């Protein structure tokens, strides 16, 4: 990476790269959970739910890209093997084995709540120490907060169906 760019990072770069790779594992698993969920989901307001799940899948994939850019800037190696997603993930993977809309949305809410915690912790770790990672984590956190609210709003709509 750029030497001056690395010099201004006030945290242990190895630990930071590890934290970024763990978040990268989460984003890939979240991407697939949304992507496959959008295909198998069945039940009330399915169309609206599919639109939301597909949008979120694209956001998670974009987050994965942002993390990889930062890992490489820091001189790290991003996860190269999918098997490492499971080894490094913070938030895990919830297979949508029950395709009911409500169940799939609830699983994804749980994932978003975990992601919010992950980026909250990343922000705390780099605040005033690594502005570039801070900025990235802040942007991702705002997306995850929006995702949680979108899903919970859909669940509220479903609860109103008589
Ligand atoms: Fe994400
Ligand atoms: Fe999300
Ligand atoms: Mg949305």
C-alpha 159, offset from chain centre: 26
Answer yes or no: is 104 within a domain: yes
Looking at residue 5, its pLDDT comes to 87
CA max distance for the chain:
62
Q: Three-state SS for 100?
A: strand
Q: How far does residue 118's CA lie from ligand 1's centre (Å)?
A: 10
Q: Global pTM? A: 0.96
Low-confidence ranges of the chain (pLDDT < 50): none
Whether 98 is covered by a domain: the verdict is yes
Q: Tell me whether residue 138 is in a domain.
A: yes
Residue 14 lies in a domain: no
Span from the CA of 10 to the centroid of ligand 2 (angstroms)? 28
1 occurs within a structural domain: no
Residue 118 lies in a domain: yes
Q: How many domains does the chain have?
A: 1
Full domain range(s) for residue 29:
22-160
User: Please, are residues 19 and 71 in contact by the beta-carbon 8 Å criterion?
Assistant: no
The pLDDT of residue 1: 63
CA of 24 to the centre of ligand 1 (A): 9
> How much is the pLDDT for 108?
98
Q: Cα–Cα distance between 69 and 20 in angstroms, integer?
A: 10
CATH number of the structural domain spanning residue 150: 1.20.1260.10
Ion ligand 1, residue ranges at CB < 5 A: 27, 60, 63
What was the pLDDT predicted at 2?
A: 78
Domain membership of residue 7 (yes or no) is: no
Looking at the CA of 119, which ligand is closest? 1
Distance from Cα 160 to the centre of ligand 1, integer Å: 28
pLDDT of residue 7: 85
- pLDDT digit string (tens) for 121-148? 999 999 999 999 999 999 999 999 999 9
- Distance in Å, CA 7 to ligand 2 centroid: 31
The mean pLDDT of the chain is 97
């Amino acid at each position: 990476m750029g030497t001056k760019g690395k010099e201004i990072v006030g945290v242990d770069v190895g630990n930071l790269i590890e934290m970024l790779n763990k978040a990268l594992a989460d984003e890939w698993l979240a991407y697939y959970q949304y992507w496959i969920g959008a295909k198998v989901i069945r039940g009330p307001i399915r169309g609206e739910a599919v639109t939301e799940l597909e949008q979120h899948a694209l956001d998670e994939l974009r987050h994965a890209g942002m993390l990889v850019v930062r890992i490489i800037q820091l001189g790290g190696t991003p996860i190269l093997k999918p098997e490492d997603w499971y080894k490094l993930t913070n938030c895990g993977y919830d297979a949508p084995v029950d395709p009911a809309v409500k169940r799939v949305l609830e699983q994804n809410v749980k994932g978003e709540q975990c992601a919010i915690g992950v980026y909250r912790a990343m922000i705390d770790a780099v605040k005033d120490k690594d502005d570039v990672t801070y900025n990235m984590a802040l942007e991702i956190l705002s997306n995850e907060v929006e995702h949680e609210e979108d899903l919970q709003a859909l669940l509220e709509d479903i609860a109103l169906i008589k």
